[in-house]
Structure 1
Amino acid sequence: MPNPQQNFSLWSSCRRKLIATMRCSCGISRHNKPINSPPVIKLPPEPSSEEKNVMMKETMKRLQSGENDAVLRGAKDVRELAKTDSEARMNFGLIGVIPLLVAMLDCEDVDSHIEALYALLNLGIGNDMNKSAIVEAGGVHKMLDLVTPPKECLPDVTAAVIANFLGLSAFDSNKVVIGSSGAVSFLIKTLRGLIKAETKTEDMDSQVVQDCLRALYNISILATNVLRMIEIDGFVQFLLSAIGGDAEISERILLILSNVVSTPEGRRAVSAVHDAFTILVDVLSWMDSPNCQEKVAYILMVMAYKSSEDQQAMIEAGIKSSLLELTLLGSTLAQKRSSRILEILRTDKGKQVSENTRGGAGTTLSAPLCGSGDNAESPDSSSGFSNRNAVKHLVEQSLLSNMRKIVKRANLRQEFVSLEHLKSSVTLHNSSSKSLPF
């Protein structure tokens, strides 16, 4: 016979579950508070194709009206509509808006200049046909007129012009016109005002700097433009002097120099700069950015491959120790390029030794394997001994080179740190270290 107490407990349990279920369904449970759903934001409906056509026709009428306020409103409409709508960009280009916007650059109103410039910039986004039409309408030269003395170069206008040069130079057919227009001189002048090799200003407009450097890179892809660039007084010297501070700026500059050294004239211009190889080798040793190391390794690899004189200048700048360190600690690409440079330097040195040998009077010169005379080691133990000595010599050279750079960067007087003192420090470090300082 069932126990009445058990029946009561079972009935109580069922009752509690039933009440909890009812409360949950009503959203009033003690443990489950009602959840307020976020408000639904209703976006305005996107205009249909027919409505867009009506808006573009109205915009065209405003630009053709000749009234300042209406023309300015029309340029703003083009700027907004072309910002995100690729179809609007194409249609605006087809109905002839670009020449009207370029004509606005001849007026004296600064607001009209800015609206027209950004409208042209947006029309060229992802549309090579519009980029070509802007150049054909004389846009590049009119833009330069806005930032060329005696006119005052306003920061907003300057930034808009540079942004347009960046966009237009991405199209290959425009590179010749932009490169021969004087745009390079303007970009370099602007960069010099923003980047200072000795003192970097914190209020520097990074976006304008990046646009300048990216535009110069696009222009320098064309070899004929490289010739125009290196003819500008101090162009290569300025680029080299700006390396070493900001990693992103240095990377952009190294990209430009990669295009510069692709031509014989560019390589000669780089070699002619005092301490050029010292600056480039310092990037390998002191900059932590893998991208910068990879790009400077490419520049040095090209120059080493093309010129034995440049190879000697690299060696004098202490490149070997930096390359040895990079082959162990650098990125995969940096290791490959560093190994290639070492191979080039080794091959060229071998050729010189071979030529000197053939120039002798029937004598054959060869490096001794184990030394000579009474101090020669036995063949059984010479291999490991000579290898250890070779590695030890390379390590000493690397440490000595790095210590020289540290002394140079610290601007210490030479009488306080003599060469013999550095060598003794290196020797002491090696004798007390049980592992290679790589």
Structure 2
Amino acid sequence: MAKCHRNDVGSLILDHRHPTKNSTSGGHFRLWNSSLRRIIFDAVSCGGTSRYKYDDGDTSSISTTGRKEKHAENHKSEKKLSDLLNVEENETEASKRKEEELREVVKELEGEDWVRKRMAAKRVRIMAKEEGLEVRRTLAMLGVIPLLVGMLDHDNECVESQIASLYALLNLGIGNDANKAAIVKVGAVHKMLALIDSPDSSVCEAIVANFLGLSALDSNKPIIGSSGAIPVLVRTLQDLDNKHSTQAKQDALRALYNLSITPTNISFILETDLVSFLVNSTGDMEVSERTLSILSNLVSTPEGRKAISAVRDAIPIMMDVLSWTDSPQCQEKASYILMIMAHKSYGDRHTMIEAGIASSLLELTLFGTQLAQKRASRILECLRLDKGKQVSRRYRGNLGATVSAPICGSSSSFTKTEGRSVEDEDMMSEEKKAVKQLVQQSLQNNMRKIVKRANLRHDFVPSDRFTSFTSSLTSKSLAL
């Protein structure tokens, strides 16, 4: 690569400004001959591909080939620069045209002609959906959000205009938290709720879709939850009149999940019959994961745990989910709900034991995901410790009765005490045997389930070796 002759040029310019004795023509250096002009041009432009070679004081000849190549390169560079300038100019013109179009839409929304306002709202809906975040941001900066919210006033009887405005607001909030916050700030939530009883179900579905989008923002969750939107979403989810689409029900369920994340909204949720509906809907595989997610948020509060426990067969329903090997996410969420309930409530632990949860938990510790296995183990440990406390309390009660028995003599007293101690030990042994038998039976039932799922022959019976193995495993791992 050729080097820029900046030093040579600098020295020439310096000599021109400060003539010395060696300068020609009366102390003035002549810079305006053609060869020197070429040197200055190449030096200033840093001609990296230049093939010219300059010697000290020798600026004689430049080859014809070098000139052609240099000319071709200059022409190519000029073309690239021209293309870049054209692209920038085109982008600038397109940007100006787009801005003018957006301003025209805003102007139509500001007018009094409802037909033109409705058409403008439809244009906003399409542009916000198809033209990306920059257009949504620009429309919001131009003040389109308050204008669209104003079209939701109850005195506007044009349902088509309301629907156009609702979906325009919905698309403006996609991927833009500032727009979501602005929509709620200008009072859109209360105006939406005023339209919820519209005879046209499309209006209700558009409102539910907006609640889903707006509730995704954390700062909006408490505002929407306290506005009265939760009962509306619950009614849409239950759909007793069967007038809403499946999509509207899904949107309502997802919006309720978003709102249940905020603890202050749980009290509003418990004022409805949502908990009972969710527990009894758990068998529907299409919505079970979202349903269990909401219950997982509710069980984190004492009120939520109490509401879940109050639902009939809530624990057996959760236990059934533990065997859904084809839905590990549901297993994890159900095991979380049961783990919290077992940890916090003695009554729930007792219900779990009576329902025979040990078998399902043991199966989950073998075939569940790592998280489900950990939660199942914690539930088993909690139940085992609870059982141990029961036996310990019973043992202490019997021991107290022994000590407080009448003393008739030292030898007889010792004999009675010793005899009663043997009786207590026998009772303890019976308790241990009962626990071992329960766990062993659970292991064997679990084995039969595994055999059934493996499609083995129906007359398959666990061998004596397996029975002895489960017995030893029970005595080692669950000894009190």
Q: TM-score if structure 2 supplies the norm length?
A: 0.65
Would the alpha carbon gap of residues 433 and 162 (structure 1) be closer, same or farther in structure 2, given more than 3 Å must change? farther
Secondary structure in 2 aligned to 1:285?
coil
Match of 1:7? Answer: none
1:394 to 434, 442, 452: 442
Letter in 2 for 1:243: T
Query: Are residues 431 and 218 of structure 1, via their aligned partners in 2, closer, same or farther at CA, if it must alter by over 3 Å?
Result: closer
What is the one-letter code of the residue matched to 1:163? A
Question: Which residue pairs with 1:110 in the alignment?
Answer: 159
Alpha-carbon distance between aligned partners in 2 of 1:429 and 1:307, rounded to the nearest angstrom: 40
Letter in structure 1 aligned against 2:443: V
Per-residue deviation at 1:64? 0.3
State whether residues 283 and 296 of structure 1, in contact with CA within 8 Å, keep that contact through their aligned partners in structure 2.
yes
- Output the amino acid matched with 1:223: P
The one of 301, 314, 327 aligned to 1:289: 327
Structure-1 residue corresponding to 2:216: 170
Q: Tell me which amino acid in the other structure corresponds to 1:244.
A: G
AA matched with 2:144: V
Shift of 1:265: 0.4
1:380 corresponds in structure 2 to none
Q: Is 1:143 equivalent to 2:192 in the alignment? A: yes
* Correspondent of 2:136 among 89, 95, 100: 89
Over 3 Å counting, the alpha-carbon distance change for 1:367 and 1:235 in structure 2 is: farther
- Choose the corresponding residue for 1:78, options 111, 118, 124: 124
What per-residue deviation string (whole Å, max 9, x for no partner) do you get for residues 332-369 of structure 1? 22112111111111122222323333333357755899
Cα gap change, 1:57/1:134 in structure 2, threshold over 3 Å: closer, same or farther? same
Q: State the identity as a percent.
A: 52
CA shift, 1:287, in A, is: 6.5
Q: Compute the displacement of 1:395 (Å).
A: 3.2
Aligned counterpart for 1:225 among listed residues 259, 265, 272: 265
User: Compared with structure 1, are the counterparts of its residues 319 and 354 closer, same or farther at alpha carbon in structure 2 (3 Å cutoff)?
Assistant: same
- Pick from 166, 187, 205 the counterpart of residue 159 of structure 1: 205
C-alpha distance after superposition, 1:15-34 (max 9, x if no partner): xxxxxxxxxxxxxxxxxxxx
Q: In structure 1, what is the Cα distance between the partners aligned to 2:429 and 2:391?
A: 20
Query: How far has the Cα of 1:78 moved from its partner?
Result: 1.3
Larger Rg: 2
Q: CA deviation at 1:161?
A: 1.1
Per-residue deviation at 1:248?
3.1
AA of the residue aligned to 1:237: S
Residues 241-299 of structure 1: per-residue CA shift (max 9 Å, x gap): 11102x23011100000011011000001111111111111111357311111111111
Matches of 1:387 and 1:226, distance apart in 2: 39
Matches within 5 A, 1:319-398: 319-361=357-399, 392-396=440-444
Residue in 1 that maps onto 2:254: 214
Partners of 1:286 and 1:303 lie apart in 2 by 20
Structure 2: segments with no counterpart, 5+ residues? 1-89, 403-420, 451-457, 471-480
Q: How does 1:280-319 map to 2 (within 5 A)?
A: 280-285=318-323, 288-319=326-357
Contact between 1:194 and 1:204, CA under 8 Å: does it hold in 2? Answer: no
Q: TM-score, normalised by structure 1?
A: 0.71
SS in 1 for 2:362: helix
- After superposition, what is the alpha-carbon deviation per residue over 1:202-233, rounded to whole angstroms, capped at 9, x for unaligned? x983322221111000001111111111111x
Letter in 2 for 1:119: A
Checking the alignment, whether the CA contact within 8 Å between 2:299 and 2:341 is kept in structure 1 is yes
Which stretches in structure 1 are left out of the alignment for 5+ residues? 1-44, 196-200, 372-384, 403-425
Question: Quick one: distance in 2 between partners of 1:307 and 1:386?
Answer: 23
Q: 1:399 to 1:329 in 2, by over 3 A?
A: closer
Distance in 2, matches of 1:325 and 1:389, equals 17
Answer yes or no: is the 8 Å Cα contact 1:321–1:401 preserved in 2.
no
Q: Would the aligned equivalents of 1:220 and 1:226 in 2 still touch at CA under 8 Å? A: yes
| Equivalence for 1:375 | none
Corresponding position: 1:130 with 2:182: no
CA distance in 2, matches of 1:79, 1:338: 49
